[in-house]
Amino acid sequence: MTQHHPDRTTGEPAHWWRDAVVYQVYVRSFADSDGDGIGDLPGITSRLPYLRDLGVDALWLTPFYTSPQHDHGYDVADYRDVDPLFGTLADADELVARTHELGLRLIVDVVPNHTSNEHAWFRAALEAGPGSPERARYLFRDGRGADGSEPPNNWQSVFGGPAWTRVEDGPGEAGQWYLHLFDSTQPDLDWRNPEVGDLFEDVLRFWLERGVDGFRVDVAHGLLKEEGLRDQVRGDEAGDAPHAMVERVVQDEPMWDQPEVHEVYRRWHKVLADYPGDRMSVAEAWTRGTPGALARYVRDDEMSQAFNFAWLLAPWSAGAFAEVITTTFASLEDVDAIPTWVLSNHDVVRHTTRYGGGPQGLARARAATLTMLALPGASYLYQGEELGLEQVDVEPAFRQDPSWFRTGEPGRDGCRVPIPWSGSEAPFGFGPGTDQPWIPQPATWSPLSVAAQTRTAGSTLELYRSALATRRTFAHTAGDHVEMLDLGEDVLAFHRGPLTVALNCGTAPVPVPAGEVIASSGDLPGGVLPPDTAVWLR
Ligand code: BGC
C-alpha cells in the first residue's frame, strides 16, 4: 500500500500525522482554570492559542477520564466520562471544538491494559467471586503453595514489587490473586475475553464520535500475556536505562509483546477507518527485541505510528544517534511506515537533565531537539521542554508516583511539575490560585516562564518557535531519504533533500558544513559549529 507516501504533486502529506509535530499535554500540570492547583480541560482550552503560535500541529492529552488518580489517570474508572478534577464532558467537547477552530488536531490517551480497581467491572469481579464471568474479565488466579499464599507466578510490577495482589473471597477469607503489571490499583484485563475487546471498541467509538483525531495507546505491547502465565526466566538486568519501564525488564518477557496483540490493532484500524478525517493511533510499546518488533505495530492494517524510544534512550554520542537513525529507517522499510521521534515525556527524566543539566545540558537538549525536528516523520514534544525546563528534585512529601510508594525510588514526579507561564513567583500564572500547585514549582523558574522567554532573543522558547516555523518550509517536500555524512566521529551529519544537518557531540569546534544556515541551536561564532550545537543548512 502507498498510504504513507506524501502526495508529491501538492507537497501535502497523504496523512496529516505523517510529519506532524505533536505536543504532549500532561493535563494536571498544563493550566489550571479554577485555582485548585491542578490543571484541567478549560485551562488547556484557554491556552490553545499558545500552542497554535508555538507552531505545533496537534496535541496529545494524557488521561482525563474518571479516575481515583492513583497513577494520575492511568487508572481509569470510567472511560466515557471526565473526572470532575479536570472538568466535564461539555468541557471536553469545547476543547475539541476550539482545537479544530485553531487548525490543530487532538489526540487522547486510551488505557486498555488495565482498569482502575474502582472500575465497575473490577468491583463486580470482587463481589462475584472465583469462577464467575465477572472475574473472567481480569486475570484472577489461585495462589501457589499448599494454602495458596504464594503469588501465581514470579512476575514483577513495572512499579516494583510483585505483580500480584491477593483478595479476600469472603469476610476475612484469603482468596485468589489478580495480576497487575503496574500498581495494585491497576488490575490487568484479560484480552482473551471477547467482552474486553468489545468494551474498548465502544470506548474508541465514543471518543471518535466526539471528534478526537486519534489515540495514544498506553502500554500497547502489554495487552496479551503468554497463555498459561508461566514464570519469567530472569536474565541480566537491563543496566542503567533512564526509564522505569526498562530498568526492571529482563530478557524473557511472557507478559510483553505477544503476537496475538496485533489482532487488537487490526480491529482498531477498522474502527478508525469508519470515521472521516484521517483518524490515527500511536503505540506506546517498549519493545526490547529487534527494532523490527516495534515495526510490527505499524504494519498497514495496524497502527499509524509507534513511539521510537530508541532515540530517547540514546546516549550523547554522534555514533549512537546515527545508529538509531539508520536502524530506525531500516526496520521500517518492510512495513512502509514513517518513523516518529521523541526526547521527553511524562515517564522519563527531562532531556536537559539527562544530558547533564545546567548550561551544557540545555545546550545539548536544544541541539538534540533541532536535529530531531529535521528528520522525516513525526516529532513528539513534551510540555515544558520548549522552556528548557529541567527535572525537578521533588521533595518526598510531595511525591505521588505509585512507583515511589512501591520502591522508595524518586519516580516520575520531577518531570510533571506544573509549567511556568508568567510572573516572578509560584504558581507562575499556572492558575488563578496564589498557592503552590500540586507539586511546588522551583522559585528559580521565573526567567523560564513563557512570558519571560517570549520575544527574548536566544531563549529556548524562541528557538522552538522559529525551528517549527522553518520546519514547515521543508517538512512536506524534503522527502524521506536521509543520507548520513561523515564529518568525523564526533559529528552526526546528514542530508535530507536540500537540507544539511550537523550536530556536534564532541568537545572541539568543527567547521560548519557548506550552505546557508537556516537554523541553529546556538551561536556559530566565526563560522564554526561549537560542541553541543546543531545547525540546519540549505
Ligand atoms: C504511561 C505511564 C503509566 C503506565 C501505566 C505508561 O506507559 O505512560 O504514565 O504509569 O503506562 O498505565
Same domain, 255 and 164: no
- Average pLDDT of the segment spanning 353-380: 98
- Average pLDDT of the segment spanning 468-484: 96
Distance between CA 67 and CA 210 in Å, rounded?
A: 20
Ligand 1 mean position to 219 CA, how many Å? 7
Residues of the chain above pLDDT 90, percent: 90
Would you say residue 134 has pLDDT above 80? yes
Task: Flag whether 184 is in a domain.
Answer: no
Would you say residue 296 has pLDDT above 90? yes
Ligand 1 atom with the smallest distance to the CA of 159 is 10
Residue of minimum CA distance from atom 4 in ligand 1? 74
Ligand 1 mean position to 218 CA, how many Å? 6
- The CATH number linked to 255 is 3.20.20.80
pLDDT, tens digit, for every residue of 168-177? 998 899 999 9
Number of domains into which the chain is organized: 3
pLDDT, tens digit, for every residue of 257-289? 999 999 999 999 999 999 999 999 999 999 876
Same domain, 99 and 139: no
Task: Flag whether 474 is in a domain.
Answer: no
Mean pLDDT of all residues in the chain? 94
Same domain, 175 and 247: no
Residue-level pLDDT at 289: 63
Same domain, 277 and 350: yes
Ligand 1 atom with the smallest distance to the CA of 111 is 12
Residues of the chain above pLDDT 70, percent: 94
Task: Flag whether 293 is in a domain.
Answer: yes
Neighbours of 480 (CB within 10 A): 18
Neighbours of 221 (CB within 10 A): 24
Same domain, 170 and 200: no
Task: Flag whether 187 is in a domain.
Answer: no
- Average pLDDT of the segment spanning 63-84: 98
| CA dihedral angle for residue 321, residue 327, residue 330, residue 334, rounded to 10 degrees | -130
**CB 282, CB 340: distance < 8 Å:** yes
Same domain, 282 and 349: yes
Same domain, 349 and 374: yes
- The CATH number linked to 155 is 3.90.400.10
Same domain, 486 and 521: yes
pLDDT, tens digit, for every residue of 409-438? 999 999 999 999 999 999 999 999 888 999
pLDDT, tens digit, for every residue of 175-204? 999 999 999 999 999 999 999 999 999 999
Residue-level pLDDT at 233: 87
**Beta strand residue intervals within 155-279, DSSP E:** 164-168, 174-179, 214-217
Would you say residue 309 has pLDDT above 90? yes
pLDDT, tens digit, for every residue of 206-252? 999 999 999 999 999 999 999 999 999 876 544 444 454 444 444 68
Residue of minimum CA distance from atom 5 in ligand 1? 74
Same domain, 442 and 484: no
Ligand 1 mean position to 111 CA, how many Å? 8
- Catalytic annotation, residues: 218, 284
Would you say residue 1 has pLDDT above 50? no
Same domain, 208 and 283: yes
Same domain, 413 and 281: yes
Task: Flag whether 281 is in a domain.
Answer: yes
Task: Flag whether 503 is in a domain.
Answer: yes
Distance between CA 26 and CA 315 in Å, rounded?
A: 25
Tell which one of 113, 189, 217, 219 to mutate to probe ligand 1, the residue whose CB is within 8 A of the most ligand atoms: 219
Residues with CB under 6 A from ligand 1: 71, 74, 111, 182, 218-219, 284, 346-347
Ligand 1 mean position to 159 CA, how many Å? 10
DSSP state of 114: B
Same domain, 261 and 320: yes
Distance between CA 531 and CA 46 in Å, rounded?
A: 39
Residue ranges making up the domain that contains 494: 479-537
